[in-house]
Chain A
Amino acid sequence: MSIEHNRRISRAAAALATVALLAMGLFGGAVSAKEYVIGMQCDRSGPTKPVGAYMCPGFHDYIKVFNKKNTIPGSTIRVMEIDHGYQVPRGIEAYERFKEAGAVSIALFGTPHTVSLTPKLTEDQILGTSPGFGSAAGANGEKFPFLFPLAASYWSQAASAVKFIQDNWKGAKQPKIAYMYYDNPAGREPFPIMDDLQKMLGFEMEKYAVPAPGIEMRPQVLDVTRKFKADWVMGQFFGRAPTVSLKEFARMGYPRDRMIGFVWAGGESDISVAGWEQSEGYYTIQFAWVGSSSKNLNQPILQEIAEVYKAEGKPAPEEMDVSVYYNRGVMAAAVHAESIRWAVGKYGEKITGKEVKEGMENVKNFALPGGFMAPVTMSGQDHEGGGAVRIFQVHNGGFRPATDWFVGYREVVMKHVAAGE
């Protein structure tokens, strides 16, 4: 056998393998019976990768447990994940692909995608969820029938932060509160709520904008600590800004236990870069449990996930170590799955987005055991699910709960939701 011959054979084999791979790519993907599809957008390659890379595995893992437990007898849920890299056209394409695959509900990812897809969701009658992003006004189920913020919006977070400050303030006068925000629509979103609360309660408040990308805020921090002399600081930051704010306030010697970060300002990664000891005492608002890890499975649902992995001979997923985002994925998945379960229970196997939407509106007092998430109670008007949060405090290189699940000044928030700005 000559070398030439050998080469020809190997070349033929390579060609065959390529053809087989291509054929699999084009004609593969068999669909099993009675499978409900949840479309999940994710960002594992774009600017919000630090969130997506942990939130999406959480979503997958919860559904895995859900299927393993046979919660909907005889049927399974399939999570169809598409990474859009935080680009709007690719998010739209992902949505079209979900629709083609017959998705009954969609977990959106990212504010621009949520906004761009809101009209389409209503047209196609498929519900979309936007926990922690999108717009707070989306909680208005009459104006945005197929959009579900699912968890406390920035409005609810602002109200809860003020409530927490009021509950913990011992001074004779009302406290001085500084609100520092990333200068984008999301950062300015809580303004109406805070203005109302200020009028209602009479505390003094100043707002400090930090321009994008939010990595330079010494002048603002100087203003807050030296000029305004704030008693409390609320931080609505994204990306690298939370870390920078922690470092700058530490430099000024400002007590960290007078600082409250909104939901995107308290990830493990943000705090570890600023230093856990440096950040001791920092409060963060959360809508799912935090402070667990693959070594410290302190929640029943996380233990169940770990068991499923163990049965496959694998250790608990290391994504669990970033509990702030992983657990949010678990929480969102739980609400999606519960809605589908409800819809199947009422309408049988043939369900579409419309029935699942009804299902999500009928999620009442739903929570995972062990205080993992706020009890979610949806209704036709309230698509936020009650807006409860829990405040956790950085303590001893981890988090500890500082409050129970609570809701702050719901009537003020709902007034604005009803107005539908």
Chain B
Amino acid sequence: MLNRETATFKRTYAEDMALYPAPLPRYTILVLLFLFFVVVPLVSSEYTLGVANLLGIASFGALGLNLLVGYTGQISIGHAAFMSVGAYTSAMLVSIMGLHWGLGMIAGGAAAAFLGMLVGIPSLRIKGLYLAISTLAAQLIIEWGINHLPFIPGGAGGSIYMDKPSIFGFQLKTNLSFYYFIYVVLVIGIVFALNLFRTHLGRSMIAVRDRDIAAEIIGINIFKVKLTAFGIASFYAGITGVLYTYYFGVANYEAFTLVVSIQFLAMIIIGGLGSVLGSVFGAVFISLLPIVLDIFLRRVGGEFMEESQIAAITTQIQLMLYGGLIMLFLVVEPDGLRKLWRNITDYFKVWPFPYL
């Protein structure tokens, strides 16, 4: 965050505990909130809001994964499977049992958290790539389960349709209404994550990531911390699945395949492991880049060729540029977009001096 740390005095405990003690970041946050909740909805088209919604949901999911992979150091390639658990739980509760959507949402998160903790149990014994493989197994098992378990309805297509949720009799139908819904949830998720790492639990998670044996020696119950991390990350994943389900109006397991899990891993690696802001950056980068490249190439190509010819070519160029840009960013800054952002803010922190 852009801030200058000079002349910030903390006179009370409350001031000391504030998420943003310096005044400038506080104003920045207020401006950002104003921008995202007033300006963007006012000036954006339905299309832009639709894209913004997808970015918001992706950011929420990436944030959850980063809590686990980036902060606690437990690799998971089953993230999308927990999303499908949330999606199906909420769709079943709301659409078939007729419960309130809010309840469905929390239950979706909780169901995913429960399964996530089950999957996390092996993490006590295995680490790194081995753990990754065991979470891969979870992805496959959950996919298979949704496909075959008889108590999961969904008919021939394996999908459950549901009505869009309504708040105080106002049904969320437009992209605008969903924009508010999704971004309120995202803000809650971000604030929770930011605060989590100022607590005992959050610090323990970081300690486990940095060196688990040392963490154990200083009295951290590793198993508890790892399981909690799995639980929280899967809760985020579950809510992500619920958001997708509410937004699309249908729960469908094919939206949460292994490829999606890997894409979320790519998001947090590009954005920056162990960073809340980085998760958002990564999610936006990975989701938005193909779209922007596609629009751009089509417009440029439209000057020279007809639609059918462009289509065949842009896809290839888009893929090359996409891959190339990801590599470029990782080579330039292996710590992710978050580090690039920090370089900028650090520069302004000491400006006009080159360093302190």
Which residues on A are within 8 Å of B, measured CB to CB? 21, 24-26, 28-29, 42, 44-45, 53, 56-57, 60-61, 64, 78-83, 85, 87-90, 92-93, 96-97, 99-100, 111-112, 115-120, 123, 134-137, 183-186, 188-189, 192, 421
Contact = CB atoms under 8 A, between A and B. Distances in A.
Interface string B236-261: 00000000000011101011000110
Contact of B147 (A26, A64, A83, A183): A183
B2 interface: no
Contacts of A183: 147
B47 A421 contact: no
Contacts of B159: 115, 135, 185
Interface stretch (B10-18, B193-201, B305-313): B305-313
A29 B158 CA distance: 40
A323 to B, nearest CB: 18
B284 to A, nearest CB: 12
Nearest to B173: A123
A218 B306 CA distance: 47
Contacts of A28: 299-300, 302-303
30 contacts: A24-B300, A26-B299, A44-B312, A45-B318, A57-B308, A60-B307, A60-B308, A78-B307, A88-B252, A89-B58, A92-B50, A92-B54, A93-B291, A97-B47, A100-B46, A100-B47, A115-B157, A115-B250, A115-B254, A116-B248, A117-B248, A118-B161, A118-B249, A119-B248, A134-B157, A136-B156, A184-B158, A185-B156, A185-B158, A189-B156
A222 to B, nearest CB: 23
B265 to A, nearest CB: 15
Given A96-B51, A100-B46, A60 B252 contact: no
Given A44-B315, A120-B249, A82 B294 contact: yes
The A interface, classified by DSSP as helix, strand, loop or mixed, is helix
Contact of B307 (A24, A81, A188): A81
Contacts of B312: 44, 53, 57
Given A25-B300, A42-B311, A188-B156, 5 more contacts: A21-B300, A60-B311, A96-B50, A112-B255, A134-B157
B296 interface: yes
B156 A421 contact: yes
Given A82-B294, A189-B156, A61 B308 contact: yes
Contacts of A85: 290
A249 B57 CA distance: 46
A112 B254 contact: yes
Interface of B: 45-47, 50-51, 54, 57-58, 147, 154-159, 161, 164, 173, 175, 248-250, 252, 254-255, 259-260, 263, 287, 290-291, 294-300, 302-303, 307-308, 311-312, 314-316, 318-319
Contact of A25 (B57, B164, B296): B296
A115 B255 CA distance: 10
Contact of B157 (A21, A24, A185): A185
Contacts of A93: 50-51, 54, 291
A53 B50 CA distance: 27
Residue among A26, A96, A137 having the largest count of chain B Cβ atoms under 10 Å: A96
Contacts of B254: 88, 111-112, 115
A117 B319 CA distance: 25
Nearest to A30: B302
3 A-B pairs with least C-beta separation: A119-B249, A60-B308, A112-B254
Given A45-B319, A100-B47, A135 B54 contact: no
A111 B157 contact: yes
Contacts of B319: 45
B122 to A, nearest CB: 24
A24 B47 contact: no
Contacts of A192: 156
Contacts of A111: 157, 254
Given A25-B296, A28-B300, A80 B158 contact: no
A78 B314 CA distance: 18
Contacts of A421: 155-156
B51 A44 contact: no
A56 B33 CA distance: 43
Contacts of B294: 82-83
Contacts of A45: 315-316, 318-319
A100 B45 contact: yes
A116 B307 contact: no
A83 B315 contact: yes
Contacts of B54: 89, 92-93
Given A88-B254, A96-B46, A119-B250, A135 B156 contact: yes
A301 to B, nearest CB: 16
A111 to B, nearest CB: 6
